[in-house]
Chains A and B, each alone.
Chain A
Amino acid sequence: MEKITNFFKTFLLYELVKGMALTGRYFFARKITVQYPEEKTPQSFRFRGLHAQRRYANGEERCIGCKLCEAVCPALAIKIEVAEREDGTRRTTQYDIDLYKCIFCGFCEESCPVDAIVETRMFEYHGEKPGDLYYTKPMLLAMGDKHEEQIAKDRAADAKYR
């Protein structure tokens, strides 16, 4: 019985018709291609993009230089130097993230006891010459200042799962 069905399918071009039907279905269906950069895909509030350092509302930097992120970083991308500031608090004098090394695992963000180092939704960045993607403390703080509103909103959205 099967032999007979196959025999008819071969000269009636059944596979071709079936294939064309699929093509036709997609031809008339709604398109899902995202026209980047005009269009963008939606992002999770847990998106792990470019790093930023945050400040408190009074302008004080959050980072206390505990070096947990440096210790946890699996790619050894973070370098921190710490000293006592004039007011006696523990502060970083150097906080560098080498984005060439970074694997965006988010461990630094996870380990931070004061939510100072965070990964933002920002993923569109580039470097033109060697060293461009070596982010220093002022660059990270500037990122934080620029995106603070979004960062705070994302932390708030994630808070209930922690």
Chain B
Amino acid sequence: MINIEIDGKLVEIGRGSTVMDAAHKAGIHIPHFCYHKKLSIAASCRMCLVEVEKAPKPLPACATPAADGMKVHTHSELAVKAQQGVMEFLLINHPLDCPVCDQGGECQLQDVAMGYGAPASRYSEEKRIVMHKDIGALISTREMSRCIQCTRCVRFGQEIAGMMELGMAFRGEHAEIMSFVDSSVDSELSGNMIDLCPVGALTSKPFRYTARSWELSRRKSVSPHDGLGSNLAVQVKNHKVMRVLPIENEAVNECWISDKDRFSYEGLNSAERLTKPMLKQDGKWVEVEWQVALEYVAKGLHQIACGAGADQVAALATPHSTLEELYLLQKLMRGLGSGNVDFRLRQSDFSMDGKQAGAPWLGMPVADINTRDRLLIVGSFLRKDHPLLAQRVRQAVKHGAQANIVHATDDDLLMPVANKAIVAPGELVNVLAQILKALAAEKQGSAQGVENVTVGSEAAAIAKSLASGERAAVLLGNFAQQHPQAAQLAVLAERIAALCGAKFGFLGEAANSVGGYLAGAVPFGGAVQGMNAAQMVASPRKAYLLLNVEPELDMHDPQQAMAAMYAADMVVALSAYKHHATDYADVLLPIAPFTETSGTFVNTEGRVQSFKGAVKPLGEARPAWKVLRVLGNLLDASGFDYDSSEAVRDEALGMQEVGGKLNNHLDVALQNTAATKAQGLQRVADVPIYSTDGLVRRAASLQKTHDAVIPCVTMHGSELQKLGVQSGDTVKVTQGRAAVRLAVQADDIMPAGTARVAAGHPATAELGAMFGTITVERA
């Protein structure tokens, strides 16, 4: 520790810190633009110049290492003069169009110019103009002339997002920030550049000119998308959500949010929103009062439960529902006498049901990912499924961690990967068995059950990497959890983790992947046992209750799910949107999305985050927990008298600490670990980042991005040769009863014998299960 004096205040600070760090610690503000605590130091803006005693010239606080006994003055005559001079220079080419600038009112340049600038400029010559470039649907660069070349956006791309999509070209007065020729900014974290930009050069395209910062009220919320549960500030004007910004929480999202969290708000005001309860009468949809619709639902469910048996009623809920909704849904079903309730819509292997020691979770706090030195990530489209967790893995790798990947595609993770095993889906279990065997040999542990596998070089390298670490983690991604042998993968991963003393965890697919288990919205565990999501559609039920589910997009096997929906006597869709349910449902009940209801999400590390509604529900939509409460009362189920969502939450979680209910241990026996040589092409289905849930599917700007283009069939080049087609050709993709036509693309990131056909997208919704054999022919 060293001592340094700033403006007469003594500060004790660690060796290697800068003057800026010391000033922060002392609570002294030094004006700055290019400095950002999460980014590397550029010292290019010179705004943080301070006077250091015995230094001949003012020094930039952000880049000056603090030294013992240093005396710093931030408001001395020399410092103030330097700051005023820098400010005058920065404003020479700044257009001063604050009245039309979206940044106006929340602009760092405006604030610092007011606080530290001279009253007037002496510059009266012409200002430079930078022509705008189109860099995609999310970020507007129309006013690049406002740029002050702080390069925060460039450094963000290099260091946080992992891809340098913006850079500074030319020199001096001609210097400008631009993307590569004709390319857009496609990072799934790109929206953070808007927050980082200290001026109005990079602004939000969807938000452009819709409101000024001082008109917006700021309400706290939690992201309903991926398992991280980013903390959001929902900004509201006239009961309409105008934009979403991050709230800093070092333990969860740091100061970032993904584009999905940031821009999905557009879906809240979509024209497809369902605003009145609707009933199908004689094949026609009519708008009715809530009372009528709810009584119809209660009567219908009661009749089917009494007539055909309670097990003929089934409920499916999206894992993006709140804890309260999931809890009340399962309570309603169990009140009816049916245990058919599930939220794990895309899961296909349920053999671990009832054999889990607790709710599967990340196995460690989210922030601990940064400190891992060895990582084994199995079956995860990491960057697209968990943009911010991928960012944390990237930071870990930057600090020397080795990332090992076992997956069915070799997607670019934008970080150095130490070892990888890219195999067809059927061989994933075998690869993990190989790693287990090799690791057992390294660590002199038990290789029971995997003695017969032959260890390949890739698996050996991964095992070696894991064995040499001190703080390892083994993580199972969405693909592994949706895999038909998910339980086997989990058992193997757990044993691998145990051998190398690693943390073992599941990357939560959705906002409430952990919360769903805690709420008991699963067919086992509760008082009444029932069917899981796959069984519910495999053997069709007479009545379905859908909580924000679009079966053709959200289910593991859309074909089967849709057949079950069409065959049902009664389908009740609680939905925020008018979607395909109009074809097969009998009742549509408008429910409120996350900004319009209070609720709780339990994120992948088991953090319980409750939030309040930011705006009132649109039209006659109502929070789903209230709808389910009234349904419970109408069905005479006991214990549905809640005053608030907090009461539901407290009942759902009990008085127990959540931590005690989280456990990844599985009591499943290891089975045959031989690689299954499958006949024909195997489907590898990812859920594209902007197709994961109803809200993002209706966010207009996200749907215009590169990540939202119509999926094509991606196969290894050799597979294309076999078919005699070329990249760009249209092929016929057949699975189960249906065929669709899609463009084909050669990409050697796919192992031979596989075809990547995305799920969750309308273009592929007619196809069958996310895994299995698929036929690709010339069209």
Contact = CB atoms under 8 A, between A and B. Distances in A.
Interface string A65-85: 111100100000000001110
B214 interface: yes
A89 B208 CA distance: 11
Interface string B81-114: 0000000000000000011100010000000000
Secondary structure type dominating chain A contacts: loop
A82 B215 contact: no
A90 interface: yes
A80 to B, nearest CB: 9
Given A66-B104, A67-B215, A88-B142, A82 B99 contact: no
Nearest to A68: B99
- Looking at B98, B208, B212, the one whose CB has the most chain A CB atoms below 10 A away is B212
Interface in B536-581: none
B100 A64 contact: yes
A83 B209 contact: yes
A117 B285 CA distance: 50
- Looking at B99, B212, B215, the one whose CB has the most chain A CB atoms below 10 A away is B99
B94 to A, nearest CB: 15
B210 A83 contact: yes
A65 B104 CA distance: 12
A67 B98 CA distance: 11
A113 interface: yes
A113 B101 CA distance: 13
A101 to B, nearest CB: 18
A122 interface: no
Contacts of A71: 212, 214
Contacts of A67: 212, 215
A20 interface: no
Contacts of B210: 82-83
A114 B99 contact: yes
A88 B104 CA distance: 18
A84 B100 CA distance: 11
Nearest to A83: B209
B212 A90 contact: no
Interface string A3-36: 0000000000000000000000000000000000
Nearest to B99: A66
B99 A113 contact: yes
A113 B98 CA distance: 10
Contact of A65 (B208, B209, B215): B209
Interface in A51-110: 64-68, 71, 82-84, 88-90
Given A66-B104, A67-B215, A71-B214, A84 B209 contact: yes
A113 B95 CA distance: 14
Contacts of A84: 208-209
- Looking at A64, A68, A83, the one whose CB has the most chain B CB atoms below 10 A away is A68
B727 to A, nearest CB: 37
Contacts of A64: 99-100
A123 B208 CA distance: 38
Contacts of A113: 98-99
Interface in B210-235: 210, 212, 214-215
Contacts of B208: 84
Nearest to A88: B142
- Place the interface of chain B in its size category: 10 to 19
A113 B96 CA distance: 11
A84 to B, nearest CB: 5
Contacts of B212: 66-67, 71
Nearest to A66: B99
A100 to B, nearest CB: 21
A71 B99 CA distance: 12
Nearest to B96: A113
A130 B367 CA distance: 61
Nearest to B211: A82
Nearest to B104: A66
A82 B104 CA distance: 15
A66 B104 CA distance: 9
Interface in B183-218: 208-210, 212, 214-215
A96 to B, nearest CB: 15
Interface in B91-147: 98-100, 104, 142
A87 to B, nearest CB: 12
B238 to A, nearest CB: 10
A82 B214 contact: no
Interface in B432-490: none
A67 B104 CA distance: 11
A118 B215 CA distance: 23
A113 B214 CA distance: 18
A62 B98 CA distance: 15
Contact of B209 (A68, A82, A114): A82
A66 B97 CA distance: 10
Nearest to A85: B209
A67 B216 CA distance: 13
Interface string B37-73: 0000000000000000000000000000000000000
A68 B105 CA distance: 10
Contacts of B142: 88
A89 B215 CA distance: 20
A65 to B, nearest CB: 7
A90 B209 contact: yes
- Looking at B100, B104, B208, B215, the one whose CB has the most chain A CB atoms below 10 A away is B100
A67 B214 CA distance: 10
Nearest to B214: A71
A55 to B, nearest CB: 17
Contacts of A83: 209-210
A105 B282 CA distance: 63
A114 B98 CA distance: 12
Contacts of B215: 67
Contacts of B104: 66
A158 B260 CA distance: 52
Nearest to A113: B99
A66 B212 CA distance: 8
B100 A66 contact: yes
B724 to A, nearest CB: 48
Nearest to A89: B100
Contacts of B209: 65, 82-84, 90
A64 B212 CA distance: 13
Nearest to B132: A88
- Looking at A64, A66, A88, A113, the one whose CB has the most chain B CB atoms below 10 A away is A66
B214 A90 contact: no
Contacts of A68: 99
A63 to B, nearest CB: 10
A66 B98 CA distance: 8
A66 B215 CA distance: 12
B324 to A, nearest CB: 36
A66 B105 CA distance: 11
Contacts of B100: 64-66, 89-90
A64 B214 CA distance: 17
Contacts of A66: 98-100, 104, 212
B32 to A, nearest CB: 27
Nearest to A112: B99
A118 to B, nearest CB: 16
8 contacts: A64-B99, A64-B100, A66-B98, A66-B104, A67-B212, A71-B214, A83-B210, A84-B208
Interface pairs A-B: 6 shortest CB-CB: A66-B99, A113-B99, A90-B100, A84-B209, A90-B209, A64-B100
Interface of A: 64-68, 71, 82-84, 88-90, 113-114
Given A66-B212, A68-B99, A90-B209, 19 more contacts: A64-B99, A64-B100, A65-B100, A66-B98, A66-B99, A66-B100, A66-B104, A67-B212, A67-B215, A71-B212, A71-B214, A82-B209, A82-B210, A84-B209, A88-B142, A89-B100, A90-B100, A113-B98, A114-B99
